[in-house]
């Protein structure tokens, strides 16, 4: 698991309760071990906030999960570059 300190700091600022932080890290480790996915830490945080990483059988059956925030998709142009 390689997470930048900044990413973890943002996760911990977003999840204010210690039990949430512990649960996030535990479930995040399980997801990394069991699932096939494409996501950055912020996308994963959004998924966690939506469903606590409850992705059903997809966590174990080899389904490739694409975790992207809709807001970031709206910023991408056709060449894949972020437009500000």
pLDDT one-digit tens code per residue, 27-42: 999 999 999 988 888 8
What pTM was estimated for this model as a whole? 0.74
Closest CA to 28 of 14, 11, 13: 11
Q: List residues bridging with 8 in a β-sheet.
A: none
pLDDT one-digit tens code per residue, 35-68: 998 888 888 998 899 899 988 998 999 988 887 7
Average pLDDT over residues 7-26: 93
pLDDT at site 83: 35
pLDDT at site 18: 96
Distance between CA atoms of 59 and 64, rounded to whole angstroms? Answer: 9
């Amino acid at each position: 698991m390689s997470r930048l300190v900044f990413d973890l700091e943002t996760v911990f600022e977003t999840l204010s309760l210690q039990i949430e932080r512990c649960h996030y890290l535990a479930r995040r480790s399980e997801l990394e071990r069991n699932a096939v996915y494409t996501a950055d830490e912020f996308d994963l945080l959004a998924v966690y906030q939506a469903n606590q990483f409850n992705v059903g059988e997809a966590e174990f059956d080899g389904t490739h999960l694409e975790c992207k925030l809709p807001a970031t998709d709206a910023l991408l142009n056709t060449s894949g570059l972020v437009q500000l």
